[in-house]
Amino acid sequence: MHSKTRIRKRWTAEELNTRVAWLCRSCHNQVHAVLSEKELADTWNELALLREHPVILRYVEWVRKRNPRGRIRARREQR
């Protein structure tokens, strides 16, 4: 995704390497199950914005109650 021209025009190489949202594996999987790469790059490109997404917010509230050592699967939502 970072090699796409529209992405390189929007951010510098340094920004692309430092604008990383560190997520646990289950949250990472859920984000990619709900949002496409293009949506992530264009609209939901900050952690604060991801926290406002209704499906992600609902998932985070749900996953907080789970055993952190257990395996949690991502649920695909309709895009």
Domain assignments of the chain as residue spans, ordered by start:
22-79
Buried b (16+ CB within 10 A) or exposed e, 27-51: beebbeebbeeeebbeebeeeeebe
pTM above 0.85, yes or no: no
Q: What is the pLDDT of residues 16-32, one digit of tens each?
A: 666 677 888 888 999 99
What is the spatial distance between Cα 75 and Cα 28, in angstroms, rounded to a whole number? 12
The 10 Å Cβ neighbour count of residue 56 is 19
Per-residue pLDDT band at 61 (split at 50, 70, 90): very high
What is the spatial distance between Cα 60 and Cα 8, in angstroms, rounded to a whole number? 31
